[in-house]
Chains A and B, each alone.
Chain A
Amino acid sequence: MMTSTTPVKAEARNLSFFYNGGNNAVKNVSMPLYENKITALIGPSGCGKSTFLRCFNRMHDLYPGNKYEGQIIMHPDDTNILEKNVDPIEVRMRISMVFQKPNPFPKSIYENVAYGLRVRGEKNRRIVDDKVEEALKGAALWNEVKDRLQDLAFNLSGGQQQRLCIARALATDPEIMLFDEPTSALDPIATANIEELMSELRNKLTILVVTHNMQQAARVSDYTAYMYLGELIEHGETDRIFTRPTRKETEDYITGKFG
């Protein structure tokens, strides 16, 4: 089977997450992210899929009182990125994220993409220029914006803004990229562009994508995980999950009987 030979880039081990106030949004989830593959998280609203995703770049650390239990091990260095002595900033330097709604900074297109490099203290103009161009090409946006890099990012269309956000996340050569419902604010054409882009990005990095859209999971992902009420119900190759799910709950969800 493909599963046994594909290297694992990161894995959640008995991961539980508690919001400030005690709400247990993720319950004892263990799941691998295979290297250079796209793993999709599906499930009804409020099932904890976004919460689970945001554990991977320690986004929950920004708000007080949140608590992780269990581990997320990143390979090949076997670092548990949830450990207290691992700085969340270090984690975010390795794992980047694309959000639900395009959220460019109110800066120029160039500065948006360059920001990750600026944060890392990169001052060499030529290196930054090259990286920005490379990232914009990687995000399939270069041809549309190369003549107006100094324009304000807000002047781009929604789909372009989201690709700009992908370029921003790409510019720092992350090992893993997280997508939190990246197309939910976009029209079908922009959505198709983003999906195509994700398929290409797979060659460079590992992707975890949360989607509320099952067709999208079926179209783009290699592996699919179905979550319900904070628990991982089923995880496996996308083809199998959508054709022969082993769990009744998964089948009910993907056939539309539920959710």
Chain B
Amino acid sequence: MMNKQQTKNLNEVRAMIQRHKLNDYIFSIIGLLCLMVGLITLLTLFIDLILQGYPKLLSLSFYTDFPSRRASSAGLLSALVGSSLVMLVTFLSAVPMGVMAAIYLEEYAPKNWFSDLIEINVSNLAAVPSIIYGLLALGLFVYILDLGQSIVTAGLTLGLLILPVVIVATRESIRSIPIAIREAAYAVGATKWQVVYDHVIKYSFGGILTGVIIGMARAIGETAPIITIGALTFIAFLPPSPVTTTAPFLNFEWLSSGFTVLPIQMFSWLSRPSEAFHVNAAAAGVIIILVTLIMNGFAIRMRYKMRKNIKW
């Protein structure tokens, strides 16, 4: 009697488990579908770009030629060089500023309503549409500071654009350092600066770098703010080289040079009526995506490497 009772219950339990497991099954299918919609769409787009642009992608002259009125001889050279130099300015302006601002906010700023207000607004800045940064830069850098429609203007604009990203990433990275490690440093008599310099910066380096690279990857594809400040679309010359063969080996004339960047070059080709230019645009699109992917991959690799020795 007793035994029978138990057997019956067990069958009920098994049936219930089966019913509940069905939910797992249903959800995993819906989830997979959602994932696929996004992934497959993007992948299709990417493959389509490659298929359209492959004749150009495979030809070396595409990377060494200036833009041209003839689609067949138009190349990416000035945009590649322009993007690289703009990114250099962006990096040099956003990283030191963002990292120092984040360290100040995290380690030195008194915690009160004012620092809360700043914190909220830094996060909000990251969500401001990029064209607004373009307008700001047009007013500030081009008209007030008279920097012209130049590489330095573009670099600083994109620097401003990614500044919140750098600040937020740095703060998060700093916050992930356990209190126990800070207290250990303070307990042997370290000053705040010693704690920051010997520990905080070193242990959060991986996270900071990741944030910086992701910010840069966003910046390299930005078009709107660059158009707003008035970048040229047809550049058949290179800015003066930053490195020279004669002392002092550095040259800053390139900063005030006119320029174009990859997304603008792509946009300019895309807006041409001629079908032949669309091949160039597709090829440029592939290059932008590849650069972004490479940067993100590098960020992931760096984070992995940096965190290998730090376990918390």
**Chain A residues packing against B (C-beta within 8 Å):** 57, 59, 62, 64, 89-90, 92-93, 96-97, 99, 101, 103-106, 115-116, 118-120, 152, 154, 165, 168-169, 172
Instruction: Check A106 against B310 for contact (C-beta < 8 Å).
Output: yes
Instruction: Check A119 against B188 for contact (C-beta < 8 Å).
Output: yes
Q: With contacts A93-B189, A116-B188, A165-B184 known, what are 4 further pairs, Cβ within 8 A?
A: A103-B178, A105-B181, A115-B198, A169-B188
Interface centre among B110, B181, B187, B199, by most A CB within 10 Å? B187
Instruction: Check B309 against A154 for contact (C-beta < 8 Å).
Output: yes
Q: Which of B198-236 contact A (CB under 8 A)?
A: 198-199, 203
Output the nearest chain B residue to A58 by Cβ-Cβ distance. B186
Instruction: Check A103 against B184 for contact (C-beta < 8 Å).
Output: yes
Instruction: Check B186 against A92 for contact (C-beta < 8 Å).
Output: yes
Instruction: Check A105 against B184 for contact (C-beta < 8 Å).
Output: yes
Q: Which of B164-194 contact A (CB under 8 A)?
A: 178, 180-191, 194
A191 to B311 alpha-carbon distance, docked (Å): 23
The residue from B198, B203, B311 contacting A118, defined by CB atoms under 8 A apart: B198
Q: Which of B134-192 contact A (CB under 8 A)?
A: 178, 180-191
Q: In the complex, which residues of chain B have a beta carbon less than 8 angstroms from the beta carbon of A172?
A: 188-189
Q: In the complex, which residues of chain A have a beta carbon less than 8 angstroms from the beta carbon of B14?
A: none
Q: In the complex, which residues of chain B have a beta carbon less than 8 angstroms from the beta carbon of A118?
A: 198
A244 to B141 alpha-carbon distance, docked (Å): 81
Name the prevailing secondary structure of the B interface residues: helix
The residue from A64, A115, A119, A168 contacting B110, defined by CB atoms under 8 A apart: A64
Instruction: Check A64 against B309 for contact (C-beta < 8 Å).
Output: no
Instruction: Check A92 against B184 for contact (C-beta < 8 Å).
Output: no
Instruction: Check A103 against B186 for contact (C-beta < 8 Å).
Output: no
List the 7 shortest-distance A-B pairs measured between CB atoms, nearest first.
Answer: A116-B188, A103-B180, A93-B189, A92-B189, A97-B187, A106-B310, A103-B184
Q: In the complex, which residues of chain A have a beta carbon less than 8 angstroms from the beta carbon of B19?
A: none
Q: In the complex, which residues of chain A have a beta carbon less than 8 angstroms from the beta carbon of B111?
A: 64
Output the nearest chain B residue to A64 by Cβ-Cβ distance. B111
A237 to B110 alpha-carbon distance, docked (Å): 44
Q: In the complex, which residues of chain A have a beta carbon less than 8 angstroms from the beta carbon of B311?
A: 106, 154
Q: In the complex, which residues of chain B have a beta carbon less than 8 angstroms from the beta carbon of A165?
A: 184
Instruction: Check A62 against B183 for contact (C-beta < 8 Å).
Output: yes
A119 to B311 alpha-carbon distance, docked (Å): 24
CB of A176 to closest CB in B, whole Å: 12
A152 to B307 alpha-carbon distance, docked (Å): 13
A169 to B186 alpha-carbon distance, docked (Å): 11
Instruction: Check A152 against B309 for contact (C-beta < 8 Å).
Output: yes
Q: A64-B111, A106-B309, A154-B309 are in contact. Are A96 and B188 (CB under 8 A)?
A: yes
Output the nearest chain A residue to B177 by Cβ-Cβ distance. A106
Instruction: Check B183 against A59 for contact (C-beta < 8 Å).
Output: yes
Q: Which of B104-127 contact A (CB under 8 A)?
A: 110-111
Q: In the complex, which residues of chain A have a beta carbon less than 8 angstroms from the beta carbon of B309?
A: 106, 152, 154
A104 to B194 alpha-carbon distance, docked (Å): 16
A118 to B198 alpha-carbon distance, docked (Å): 10
Q: In the complex, which residues of chain B have a beta carbon less than 8 angstroms from the beta carbon of A168?
A: 184, 188
A90 to B189 alpha-carbon distance, docked (Å): 7
CB of B256 to closest CB in A, whole Å: 44
Q: In the complex, which residues of chain B have a beta carbon less than 8 angstroms from the beta carbon of A99?
A: 180, 183-184, 187
Q: In the complex, which residues of chain A have a beta carbon less than 8 angstroms from the beta carbon of B180?
A: 99, 101, 103
Q: In the complex, which residues of chain A have a beta carbon less than 8 angstroms from the beta carbon of B185?
A: 105, 115
Instruction: Check B186 against A62 for contact (C-beta < 8 Å).
Output: yes
Q: In the complex, which residues of chain B have a beta carbon less than 8 angstroms from the beta carbon of A62?
A: 182-183, 186
Q: In the complex, which residues of chain A have a beta carbon less than 8 angstroms from the beta carbon of B310?
A: 106
A119 to B196 alpha-carbon distance, docked (Å): 12
The residue from A96, A106, A119, A169 contacting B190, defined by CB atoms under 8 A apart: A119
A165 to B181 alpha-carbon distance, docked (Å): 11
Output the nearest chain A residue to B191 by Cβ-Cβ distance. A89
21 examples of A-B residue contacts, CB within 8 angstroms: A62-B182, A92-B188, A92-B189, A96-B187, A97-B187, A99-B180, A99-B183, A105-B185, A105-B199, A106-B181, A106-B203, A106-B309, A119-B189, A119-B190, A119-B191, A119-B194, A154-B311, A165-B184, A169-B187, A169-B188, A172-B189
